[in-house]
Amino acid sequence: KFYIPQLPVALLDDVRGCVEFYDRDAVGELGERDGAIIGLTSKHIIQMRWLMIDYLNTLEATLMFWWQGTANEKLMEHEFSFLRSESDSSRPVRHLVEAFGENNFPAINAFLKAGAQRTAPEPDFH
């Protein structure tokens, strides 16, 4: 049986946005009960997981240029500074990288850990 996690109602708008991306009609099936989102199916979970991994892969490919020092570091650090903040928009990325494995996203991980440093750390390909 496919595991469907109980997600908090605080994520309902975000979950609706992800579900709507694939299936506009399914958005009406989502609701809340006892502080949790209801109406999610295994199909929705698989689609959301794909969106998360796709986003992380795109971000990883982009930050790889920063990591290798081939991009304009100042520009990249400015454009992606929200990832280093403590805002609500940065937390999901950190949590996803931790959940899917920091070693699977070395450029994102290096960017998050570099903080205010101006130079990219050397890639560790081991």
Buried b (16+ CB within 10 A) or exposed e, 47-85: bbeeebeeebeebbebbbebbeeebebeebbeebeebbe
pLDDT at 126: 59
User: Is pLDDT at 116 greater than 50 in this prediction?
Assistant: no
**Using one digit for the tens of pLDDT, what is the confidence trace for 88-112?**
666 778 888 888 899 999 999 999 9
pLDDT at 118: 43
Tell me what the pLDDT averaged over the chain comes to.
86
**Using one digit for the tens of pLDDT, what is the confidence trace for 9-42?**
888 888 888 888 888 888 888 999 999 999 999 9
> Tokens 């049986």 belong to which residue?
1
* pLDDT cut 90: percent of the chain above it: 43
Mean pLDDT (whole number) for 71-79: 92
